[in-house]
Amino acid sequence: MPELPEVETVKRGIALLATGKKITNIFVGRKDLRWPIPKYIGKDLKGAICRPPKRRGKYILIPLSNKKILLLHLGMSGSFRITSNRPNFQKHDHFAMEFEENDWAVFCDPRRFGYIDLLNEEHAKSHRFLKELGVEPLSSDFTPDYLAAQTAGKNCSIKAILLDQTKIAGIGNIYASEALFKARISPKRQAKTIKGKRAERLVNSIKSILLRAIEAGGTSLRNHVQPGGEIGYFVQSLQVYSRSGEPCLKCGAVVKQIKQSGRTTFHCGLCQR
């Protein structure tokens, strides 16, 4: 499932293709993904010029010259690929845009948890999903004090706090597991005990894990923004995620897999306390 670094990579890929370009054509393969695609989206998109895309949490926002904003969410399995001519649309290609010079960005989403919407610029801040998002973890607002304020008095696990998009936007299962491993904090630790040095360690770990992944995404972009290239999924060096039964890379103990509120967590019982 795409998280902040994957979404950031897709955003950068779309930026390279679309910024300053006019949308000349669109393709809607089906009317609904997670929610319906706005009925007259083609009318608003065609002829509009794309401003530099932005990212908020796991959402991509493409501001347009007509004061609308195209909002994209990749859901569980969404990806974009770039083609330099009209694509041969495949079964799971649900949405696509053509830009000047015949470049296409094609949205493929087999599980259809993705989301496409068109907003008026002035409504972006009050949009039902955007308004609920917590801080950007890579912004200067995400500090140890902020994290400690979110965890104070909370009896849930620290992992649940990290996944809560209303507190920190963009972190999912993979990067929560990785950041907790780097910070040597157990995913099961009660949230309220995360303060002081622990909060500092966790905030620093989150930032460095995300930055490293974005860097890996950037590298993949150089290789993949070319005809047929799917963007946003890249090989990364995960330390603990999906390594259950394998030796911990720090201490050699066996990496464990547990379920927390239905989500799989990977951790080392020795390194993480």
Per CB under 5 A, residues contacting Zn ion are 248, 250-251, 253, 268, 270-271
Instruction: For the CB of residue 250, give the shortest distance to Zn ion in the complex, in Å.
Output: 4
**Catalytic residue list contains 58:** yes
Q: Do residues 251 and 270 make contact, with C-beta atoms less than 8 angstroms apart?
A: yes
Is 16 or 249 the residue whose CB approaches Zn ion more closely? 249
Tell me whether residue 76 or residue 253 sits nearer to Zn ion (CB atom). 253
* Marked catalytic residue, from 12, 55, 58, 189: 58
Burial of 32 from C-beta contacts in 10 A (0-12 / 13-18 / 19+): exposed
Of the listed 46, 192, 195, 263, which one is catalytic? Answer: 263
Q: How far is the CB of 144 from Zn ion (least distance, A)?
A: 24
Report the C-alpha gap between 118 and 44 in whole angstroms. Answer: 8
* Whether residue 8 lies in the annotated active site: no
Give the 3-state secondary structure of 90-106. Answer: CCCEEEEEEEHHHCEEE
**In 108-234, alpha helices (H):** 144-151, 158-163, 173-182, 196-224
Q: Side chain identity at 214, as an amino acid letter?
A: I
CA 239 to each of CA 208, 223, 248, 251: distance values in angstroms, whole numbers, following the listed order: 13, 24, 8, 12
**Which residue, 15 or 248, has its beta carbon nearer to Zn ion?**
248
- Annotated catalytic residue 159: no
Instruction: Give the distance, in angstroms, between the CA of residue 173 and the centroid of all CA atoms in the same chain.
Output: 11
Please indicate whether residue 112 is annotated as part of the active site: no
Write down the least CB distance from residue 208 to Zn ion, Å: 18
The residue ranges of DSSP E strands in the chain, in sequence order, are 23-28, 54-56, 59-63, 68-73, 79-83, 93-99, 104-108, 115-120, 229-231, 256-260, 263-267
Q: How far is the CB of 200 from Zn ion (least distance, A)?
A: 21
Q: How far is the CB of 181 from Zn ion (least distance, A)?
A: 8
**Nearest to Zn ion of 203, 271 (CB atom):** 271
Task: Give the residue with the Cβ less far from Zn ion, 152 or 251.
Answer: 251
Catalytic positions, written as ranges: 2-3, 58, 263
